Amino acid sequence: MSTLVDIRALLVHRDRRPVLKIDHLAIEKGRVLTLVGPNGAGKTTLLLVLARLLKPEHGEIFFDNKPWNSIPELDYRRHIGLVMQDSLLLNCSVFENVAIGLRYRHFPKDEVTRRTDKWLERLGISRLRQRSASQLSGGEARRVALARALALQPDLLLLDEPFSALDRSSRQNLQDDLKTILAGAKITTVFSTHSETDVQRLSDRRIELDMGKLAVYD
């Protein structure tokens, strides 16, 4: 299987302190990689580096066999879709939230509507289309955040603890839906979690981070 992201000798500092050190990590195309580890292990840091929102101190990263630095930052960020913890929706309607990334890319209006409606439907939230994001439950908000990233049809989907703080049934339903979507669309995905159940249900490969280093690499 070909590699989408190849990370070599990565070192990330925060407040002049090393927080992430990875000698080598390859993320294969179309597969789902899980990052597990305790709080402060470096999971979110790695996701932010992969989203190119955090600059590493040094290291080589290749995206689709191209050196990272050769791809303009905005072009690169438009290959990815990021879902951060806590959903972080904008104070507008569900439709506008899901459409925002498409609008950033200046998609034609019809295409924005078509894609947004498609992903609202696939995530089972079409009925919430006109509802204000501030009136959503935690589970609904998480689905909107996922639809917002998936509507971009990203080459690399980055999910930071996408099921945290959800009740058991919402968690299970969302896992099932996401599993179907990721299997169908073959989107390369990296997600962080504390839960081994998430790993078992969704993951093709699992890596464990501890104190900013790869502890276990399945």
Chain residues that interact with other proteins, rule: CB under 8 A: 48, 51, 53, 74, 77-78, 80-82, 84-86, 88, 90-93, 100-101, 104-105, 132, 148-149, 152, 158
In whole angstroms, give the CA distance from residue 176 to residue 85. 19
The least CB distance from residue 126 to other proteins, in Å, is: 20
Pick 58 or 105: Cβ nearer other proteins? 105
The least CB distance from residue 169 to other proteins, in Å, is: 26
Pick 104 or 217: Cβ nearer other proteins? 104
Query: How many CB atoms are closer than 10 A to CB 121?
Result: 13
In whole angstroms, give the CA distance from residue 16 to residue 57. 10
The least CB distance from residue 86 to other proteins, in Å, is: 7
Residue 121: CB partners within 8 Å, gap ≥ 6?
Answer: none
In whole angstroms, give the CA distance from residue 7 to residue 29. 14
Pick 41 or 150: Cβ nearer other proteins? 150
The least CB distance from residue 153 to other proteins, in Å, is: 11
Pick 12 or 214: Cβ nearer other proteins? 12
Using alpha carbons only, what angle is made at residue 182 by residues 176 and 187, rounded to the nearest 5 degrees? 160
The least CB distance from residue 52 to other proteins, in Å, is: 9
Pick 2 or 91: Cβ nearer other proteins? 91
Within the chain, strands assigned E span 3-14, 17-28, 32-36, 58-63, 66-67, 80-83, 156-160, 188-193, 205-210, 213-217
Cβ 29 vs Cβ 1: under 8 Å: yes
Pick 131 or 213: Cβ nearer other proteins? 131
The least CB distance from residue 48 to other proteins, in Å, is: 7
